[in-house]
Structure 1
Amino acid sequence: MAVDNLNDINKLECRDNDYSVSISGVAGLSVRIYPNGKKEYYLRYTHPHIDGKRPRMMLGKINDISLYEVKYKAESILNMVAKGVDPKAVQQQQQVNKYAHLKNATFSEVAQAWRDHKTSSGHKGKSNKLSFSESTLEYWDLCLGYMCREIGDLRMNDITSEMILTVCEAIQNNQNQATFVGASTRLYTEKVFSFAVARGLCDKNVAIDTRGELAPASSGNHLPAITKPDQFATLLNDMCTFKGANKITLEAMNLLPYVFVRSIDLRSMRWQDIDWDNKLWEFSPTKGEGREDMVSQLVVPLATQVMQRLRSIQSDTGHNEYVFASMRASSNPYISKAALVQVFHRLGYKEVQCAHGFRASAKTLLMEQPELRYSDIVTELQLGHRIKDTHGGAYNRLDEIDTRVRMMQDWADYIDKLRDLPKKEP
């Protein structure tokens, strides 16, 4: 079976597995239909130099390119093949040459190329709009602006790790700037270097050598927190199997990693503040009142796993005002701070991890792990920190909410995956 026009292509129905249908008029041209409804044009051609090999090239999605353009593009590729030219090799060479003019360019030039690359068409979301908000782009410019002012005119290969560290330390020592901005500047500088090394624009990512040399993005009271994935996995596993406390305290302890709010805010969580339909928890952070660096209202997107846990807890405390209502005859309406403190001591994590430390654990892992890599601005907003942009305006409780919803679900999936890893032998 073959299709002749766009009307025929639109009539092709989804199946349980993806499949291809030939398009008449051009040899090797087809449309591939996926179970989720996506349809893409592909061209399979005979390799001009390797017998028996028939490479396949994706020419575009049906919503992005017309059938006429696809046929013209496919015929041009086949003409190249007929002349003994491999179109895939040409395509790869063009991609490499795209940045050839930046070979050992200045830091400012490469930083701009990195930014352009991140905001290019290849980084659009489902709505075909840029997946980065204006506030995120402004934050990139803020952080990299510091580095560009100091070393922006230096060639990439002439920059040392000492230079990078000096700039970042100066930011962190500036009383007018938050500690996390210095840490963020270091992280984005590392990303620029990584971009450059991958494209042959410089020899080494010297920013990697600065890891761990700055105050962490979430530094403050320096409360104990685990920020290494393997150690965090062990902690999660120990928490899951621990039975040395009452049920409600254990439920609170095991929910902390998912929401990484302050201990007091989790312990005083109220059923009426949960939006079950939209999977959101909105409340007034205890420490946000009267503080310029904290938001007065915080929205916490609740991952599927959190919703399931809350449903389970509801059968025990749903008749009370508080989710983690105290089960003891005391004046406290919800579990005490001491209850959570003692749990981590009994687990053997005294001076290693505390309830508050999950905020630092989450922020560090969300920013640094390759499968997550969420920006500082999004993580800071989720921590309830009030951030001012370059124009002095403060972000509000709903800024970056769509990204935060994705982040909290990705984070929940990530820590579940960590918890399920086989436990390493000591």
Structure 2
Amino acid sequence: MPLTDAKVRNAKPSAKPVKLSDSAGMYLMVTPAGGKCWRLKYRFNGKEKTLALGMYPEVTLGDAREKRDAARKLLANDIDPGEQKKNRRAAASLASANTFESIALEWHEKFKHEWTEEHATRLLNRLKANAFPWIGARPITEIEAPDILSIMNRAEKRSLEVAHRVKTCCGQIFRYAIATGRAKRNPIPDLQGALPRVKNKHYAAPTDPKTVGPMLRAFEDYDGSAIVKAALLLAPLLFVRPGELRAAEWSEIDLDAAEWNIPAERMKMRVVHLVPLSSQTIEILKGLQPLTGRGRYVFTSHRSPLRCMSENAVNAALRRMGFERDEITGHGFRATARTILDEILGFRPDIIEHQLAHKVKDPNGRAYNRTAHIETRRKMMQTWADYLDELKAAGT
């Protein structure tokens, strides 16, 4: 007799598994522990097989019979329902392993050694904020251009530049997925023209000596953190990139040799960079040693001595002193130095560019190494520091 809901509900376990037959090969297996499992016995290519149909009560008697009938239809079409179930599970597992987020994290892990730590962190945070919440869990093969456009539009509400960067990052991930056999096409080219262009912006920077002097005097009068003040004083003297400055480590600095050797992994161009230190720079660093010299970082975070200063510390200090974004930014000191060193102090542009850690080649097409023209650069950095002192003293 076929089973009834009451028989299934009231079935009791015993010392050994008990089979309660329904019809057409389906039965309920009651385990000694009290579990109730639906099973279907069938034959395929002369072999007897068993198909699991689910657990009671999650799968009711009616649900189990529907699954049984669906399996028998497959058998009628010479399809093994057990194998089909395995294939579906394998496909689901593959899709789960090939989600956009999983491939993006794999791509990030593979290539992060080619980026600075700051850039790698920024990329990952950008994905976490702008992509993963909406498309991260989806198989990458199912993601089309409108899906990417959707997350770009969300990002555009905060920043058009971020939206473009999200698009670029997604394109790199899709290309990696194609190369590794997890995707067949990259939808990013379909989005050409979907966003307005970003107008190129130059970092705000004073290039008139008359405005540089008052700025330097304001730095001397800064009444905030001594560590931030030191960073403010050193930023125009060294004119390195803000990320290079705030992550400076004491192990990289040789005060006796008056040199700061920045390793390649922290440089934008992935090439070691040597910064000659003026006497003024050394004096500031020596003053900072009692505060941070026992730790790793020259400019430690106010939250933890194990971390370097935050990305926004210098710019926040500038704003606190009343300097607007269109007047000066942490990155703008590089433009200040580049302009004045060339136009007023008369140093060769290629020497300046090399000290800025830009790609520079000699007349024979060879890239300069980190020690190229080092004596000229030592002289330039000291001349620059002395000139800044002159500007600072001019209004006192």
Could you state the TM-score of these two structures normalised by the residue count of structure 2?
0.47
Question: Who wins on radius of gyration, i.e. which is larger?
Answer: 2
Could you state the TM-score of these two structures normalised by the residue count of structure 1?
0.44
